[in-house]
Structure 1
Amino acid sequence: MRTVYVNGEYLPETEAKVSIFDRAFLMADGVYEVTSVLGGKLIDFDGHAKRLDRSLSELDMPSPMGRDELLEIHRELVRLNEIEDGLIYLQVTRGAPGDRDFVFPDPETTEPTVVLFTQSKPGLAESPAAKEGIRIISIEDQRWGRRDIKTVQLLYPSMGKMMAKKAGADDAWMVEDGAVTEGTSNNAYIVKGDTIVTRQLSTDILHGITRAAVLRFAREAQMKVEERPFTIEEAQGADEAFITSASAFVTPVVEIDGVALGGGTPGPLAARLREIYLDESRKAAI
C-alpha cells in the first residue's frame, strides 16, 4: 500500500481524503506537476517547481510552500514507497471554502489543498516505445485558451487519447488553424534534414520542462532548432518525428495519420536526443 501526502500528513492511500467541496473537484480549479524518478533521484525537479509557481501565479493562487519543503516531501515519498524508477504526482488546488461558488474564495480564510502520490514504474527509461516508436492521429484542438497553465482540466486530452486508441494508434496530435499545437500530454516535433522543428512557446501550448531541456541539449550538440508552427502534411513529409514529456522523455513517432515516417522505424536524431537527455538528466538528478 502506498504512502501519500495530503495537507501536511503522510498517510496510507486508503486513509487519504479530500473535501467534496474542493474546487478542483467542482471547478477543475487546480494545477499539477509530474516529476520522474530514475535511480531513486528526481529528474528536472527545479524546472517543475518553477513551472508550478508560474501556474499558481497565473491563476492568482497562493503558493502553499517553498521549493525546499516541496523537495523534502518528494524525497520522503520516494523513500517511504521505495521508488527506484517512477513518477511523483503533485496537485495544488484553491482548497475547499465550504460551499460551491464561482467566485474565488478569500485566500486569507481558505487553505490550498496539496496532494502528492507516487507511481512505481520499473524500467521507466527502457520503454518499448522508445525502440519501436509510436503511431499518432491528428485531432482538432478543442481545449481552452490557456494551455500554458498546467491545470487539472484534462478531459479533452483524455478524450484525444481514447480517439487514438479507437483508431488503433498510440496518441494524438492536436491541430488548430491548420497547425499542430502539441500532443495530448506531450510536446510535438518533426525533423527535416538536420533541423528540429517544434511550435514556439505561447499560451497555445504547455511550456514543457522536458522540452526546454531537450532543446538546450540539442543546441549544445550543434543541432539546428526552429521554433515555429508546422502542419500535419509537413510532418508526414518529415524525415523523423518525436514527442517529449516528463514520463516519455524523448519518444520517436513512426506514423502520422497512417503515413509511415522513415520506413516506419525510429530515426537516429530522436534516438541520439533521448540518449543525451537521459545521460544529462541522470547526472543532474537530485
Structure 2
Amino acid sequence: MSRTVFLNGDFVPFEEARIPVMDRGFLFADGIYEVAAIIDGKLVDEVAHLARLDRSLRAIEIANPYTSEEWIALMRELAARDEVREGLVYIEVTRGVAERDFPFPPEGTPPTVVMFTQAKRILGAPAAEKGVAVITVPDLRWKRRDIKSVALLAQVLAKQEAARAGVSEAWMVEDGHVTEGGSSTAFIITPDDRLVTRPLSNAVLPGITRIAVMQLAREMQLTIEERLFTVEEALCAREAFYTSASAIVMPVVTIDGKAIGDGSPGPMTKRLREVYLALARDGALASG
C-alpha cells in the first residue's frame, strides 16, 4: 500500500508530494516539527505533543493552522490510510513560501503543513531487550533548545558520530554536564536509587515521554531529582536510560565504552518501560 502525505490540507500519494524551493523551511529551517508514536493503531500522548507543537509555533510567531482536535482527526486519518499499527506520525509546520529574505514574509503568507507516517517497531524492540550503547559529544546547539525547531544540524552531526561509533545515541555535553541526547532525554539512576534528569529550561527540549515517565516514577515511589549531572556521575550510575516518542524508555548499558551497572538493562528501567507500554496499549496515554 502506498504511503500518504498530508500536505497543505490534502491527502496525497507520497510520490506526488512536492514543496516549493522557496519554502522557508528549506531555505532557513524556519519551522517547527513534532513526532508522536502509534501503538496498536492508536496515537500515544497526542494532546501533550500537540501542546508542545503549539508552544513552539508561538515561540517563533507562526500561527497554528489547526486546533488540537483538528490535528488529532488528521493524524488518525493519516494513520488509518497508511494502515500503521506501530510507528510514528511526523508533523512539520514552516513559515511558508516567499522570496528568500531573512525577515518574516508579508502578513497572511500561509504556513506549509506536512505530515507523514513511518512504520517502526516499538513493542518488543530488540534494542530495548539488550540495552544500547551511547557516546558523549560536545553540545554545539543554539540557546533555545526548548523550541522544537527543524534546525537540527548539530543533532545530525552528533547522531552521525554515534552511527560511526556503532552506537545508538549521542549524549550531548556542555560544561561537563549532560544536556540531553541527540533525539532523546537522558536519565540516570544513582546507586542510592534516585532518578535524575536535567531540569527544564531553554537548554533542553521538554520531552513529552519524559513527563509521562516521571509521573510513573512518582507513582512507583521513586525519588526524583531534577538537576544537572556530569558524565562522571553517569558513568557511576546504577542504571541509565533515555526517553523519546519512538524509543519510549531505552536502557543504556554503556557510555563511552564503559559498562553501566552490570552492563545489562536495570530492573527499574525495565519496569518503567513495561508500565508505560501497558498504559499506551490500554489507551491510557491516547489523550485525545
Fold conserved between structures, TM > 0.5: yes
Residues of 2 paired with 1:106 and 1:126: CA distance?
Answer: 49
For each residue in 1:74-111, what CA deviation from the matched residue of structure 2 results, as whole angstroms up to 9, or x when unmatched?
011111111111110000000002x1000011332x00
Alignment match, 2:270: 271
Q: 2:148–2:205: 8 Å Cα contact kept in structure 1?
A: yes
Stretch moving more, 83-92 or 256-265: 256-265
Match among 114, 118, 126 for residue 128 of structure 1: 126
Alignment match, 2:32: 31
Match among 147, 150, 157 for residue 152 of structure 1: 150
Q: 1:34–1:90: 8 Å Cα contact kept in structure 2?
A: yes
Secondary structure of the structure 2 residue equivalent to 1:146? coil
What TM-score do you get using the length of structure 1 for normalisation? 0.97
Misfit runs of 4+, over 4 Å: none
Q: 2:39–2:280: 8 Å Cα contact kept in structure 1?
A: no
Percent identical among aligned pairs is: 52
Residues of 1 paired with 2:126 and 2:143: CA distance?
Answer: 34
- Taking the TM superposition and a 5 Å limit, the aligned residue runs for 1:108-187 are 108=108, 110-121=109-120, 123-187=121-185
Q: 2:197–2:227: 8 Å Cα contact kept in structure 1?
A: yes
Residues of 2 paired with 1:31 and 1:198: CA distance?
Answer: 25
Residues of 2 paired with 1:107 and 1:280: CA distance?
Answer: 43
What TM-score do you get using the length of structure 2 for normalisation? 0.96
Secondary structure of the structure 1 residue equivalent to 2:276? helix
Secondary structure of the structure 1 residue equivalent to 2:123? helix
| Matched AA of 1:31 | I
Residues of 2 paired with 1:261 and 1:177: CA distance?
Answer: 22
Secondary structure of the structure 2 residue equivalent to 1:262? coil
| Matched AA of 2:258 | V
- Per the TM alignment, residue 235 of structure 1 is displaced from its structure 2 partner at its CA by 0.3
- Per the TM alignment, residue 54 of structure 1 is displaced from its structure 2 partner at its CA by 0.2
Residues of 1 paired with 2:79 and 2:66: CA distance?
Answer: 19
RMSD of aligned alpha carbons: 1.0
Question: Which residues of structure 1 form unaligned runs of 5+?
Answer: none
Q: 1:62–1:107: 8 Å Cα contact kept in structure 2?
A: no
Residues of 1 paired with 2:138 and 2:199: CA distance?
Answer: 19
- 1:73 equivalenced with 2:71 (yes/no): no
- Per the TM alignment, residue 183 of structure 1 is displaced from its structure 2 partner at its CA by 0.3
Question: Which residues of structure 2 form unaligned runs of 5+?
Answer: none
Secondary structure of the structure 2 residue equivalent to 1:274? helix
